[in-house]
Amino acid sequence: MAAAKKKSKFFNRELSWLEFNQRVLEEAKDPANPMLERLKFLAITASNLDEFFMVRVGGLHMARMAGRRKKDPSGLTPLAQLNEITQRAKAMMRDLHACFTDVVSPALASAGICHADINALTAEQDAALHDLFADELFPVITPIAVDPKMHFPHLHNLTLHILIRLQAVSGKDQTDRYAVMSLARTGSRIVQLPADSGYAYVLKEEVVIKYMANWFPGYEVKECAVFRFTRNADFAVHEEEAPDLLSGMEDVLEERKTGECIRLEVAEEISPSLLRFLTERLAIAKGGVYPIKGVLNMKDFMSVACLEGFDELKVEPWPAQRSPDLIANEPMFGQIAKHDVLLYHPYETFDPVVRFIEEAAADPETMAIKMVLYRTSSDSAIIAALKRAAENGVNVTVLMELKARFDEERNIHWARNLETCGVQVIYGVKGYKTHAKICLVVRRESTGVVRYCHFGTGNYNESTAKLYGDVSYMTNNAELGADASAFFNALCGYAQPSGFKLISMAPIGMRSKLLELIGYETERALNGKKAVINVKVNSLVDVALSEKLYEAAAAGVKVHLNVRGICCLVPAKNITVTSIIDRYLEHARIIHFHHGGKPRVFIASADWMPRNLDKRLELMVPIEDPACRDRLIQILELHLNDNQKMWKLLPSGSYERVVEQQNPAVRSQQVLYEQACEAVAAASKNRRTRFEPHRPEPREQ
């Protein structure tokens, strides 16, 4: 990476992200993974790149156009970053498409999932495609004439289009004519064909091209080119100018539809003249053209990866387990009153979190429910429970974060929906995103008013909770309950967020708390005492925290950083940086300080990035219950001992896979799933009442 060549203390953020996405791509290339699992990782890699270009590359384009030359911590200007990104991203996309074309697609065909040759179909298949064309494509798709002198038609971002070059069949005028066809909103792109066995398919663009002449009677179709472009989506609401946040976010959604085109993907076989026409009309710079050898828009193949059947081509299912700390037919609040509950998803089901809110909604003793919603599922049981609670007379307050990128439209819909049911909806906090994961239930009990809290590292989203590794923590700890009330009072009114007893909140106290805790370990190391910091986050970008970690490591503190994605910190003596890419997306934020043998353990909603620590409302929550705290430490140690799915960051900025041919092999996600199964089995035999996972042997220091 360029940052390493300059011997900077930091790696470039964008190039580090591309290294992360390469690790995702390596899962698609791993022959140990079943073929449909490999296809799934190809689709994820492609989807990740789309968002990266829309947001990160889009932002850099805006900075360059504004003439900004300020260097990032790695020493790169916006223009230098764009040049490095272009080179790296093009290599990645070549790698991605070669993996599909040369390896995955042929292997799937051998196993019965075949991308058929549209020019070599059976009579039955041809008839089926003709019916599709006549019934669903020809009546719906309308070609748009493109006059070289007129404005290019507005086209949808990230969808497939076909550019067509035509000539009149008769007459003296043989001037080239152009038209464009959009395949947006025309049903599934993957078209299943009749087949005696297996699954045969063609792509919708292939069907359209096959019957293209039908749209243009009197013209000869000289050339067709499938293309797709990416618009800049890095727009933010101007809160000082918008009449309110809701209308401001609606304006942002409109802006994204017309953002600058920053990437053009085209089939590699496009002619130079047609490519020139397209790039000129879309105002795409040469570096923004990405010729694709093979199939465009690989993320559409997620539907193929999820085909029913073909179990031999998929990973073995790991169904989420119930928590041994909870009894299914007993009320949640009585159980939480007896002991704190810690869940590690998706190995343990997210159902207790939904049940926590559903029981609160139906319980006549519930006085209030307050929660932050950042991202929710499309058919959310939690939203439904909140609506019922309000209709039952419960005082329900929801902070609906409208600035959750790419979920703004859904959140606007849910916010309006909740308001009609009597829920008090707060549309975020001016100047900040609210990213905290918290739900507070206030109940009237025989002993008085009691607060029950759920704190998490992930969103209240039942769908992603099946795919993301996250922590849920439920407690009726009085001090945490008081802090939760103070947090909501600060968000929803004019109270200043201060005087928290246990939790730390960004942007006013989290960074200083982390610096203080790192400093304590540093002091102990300087005094010759054991000092260890073990951190699991998604991204580490913050310069101040990185500098403090460098200082701690220089003093002798053993610093273990498990960073799934971006890491701008360069590993050094006493600092190891690892990343785990496996079946589930590692999303939990867990922080452990040795603290003189009296461990301090926290879960957090925030990554260690300036945006989280300075521009978002985030929470870091101490886990003081001994059983829950020890379990989190064990999880950190297990991830540290992974020798099958771990990658280690090198001082050069590249990663190497850590695969040790030894007994026992430790694949941390698999071990976590097996532990969850064993815990349920043990609980059913009454061998234990709290979760007691097997503790792996610690790695030698």
Task: Cite the active site residues.
Answer: 435
CA distance 568 to 18: 12
CA distance 342 to 692: 12
Contacts of 24 (CB under 8 A, 6+ apart): 41, 44, 45, 48, 581
Residue 400: closest CA among 381, 419, 420: 419
CA distance 569 to 540: 7
- Evaluate whether 294 touches 662 at the Cβ level (below 8 Å): no
Indicate the helix (H) or strand (E) that contains 64.
Answer: helix 58-65
Residue 271: closest CA among 222, 204, 208: 222
Cβ atoms within 10 Å, residue 661: 6
| Residues facing residue 358 across a β-bridge | none
Residue 313: closest CA among 113, 117, 507, 563: 113
- Name the token pair of 389: 């609670």
Cβ atoms within 10 Å, residue 327: 13
Q: How far is CA 437 from CA 184, 324, 612, in A?
A: 35, 23, 13
Helix (H, G, I), strand (E, B) or coil at 219: strand
Cβ atoms within 10 Å, residue 572: 15
- Name the token pair of 182: 């959009």
Residue 94: closest CA among 161, 46, 24: 46
| Residues facing residue 177 across a β-bridge | 166
CA distance 282 to 300: 24
Indicate the helix (H) or strand (E) that contains 166.
Answer: strand 161-168
Place of tokens 């990104």: 85
Identify the burial level of 482 via C-beta atoms within 10 angstroms of its C-beta, where 0-12 means exposed, 13-18 middle and 19 or more buried. Answer: middle
- Evaluate whether 621 touches 342 at the Cβ level (below 8 Å): no
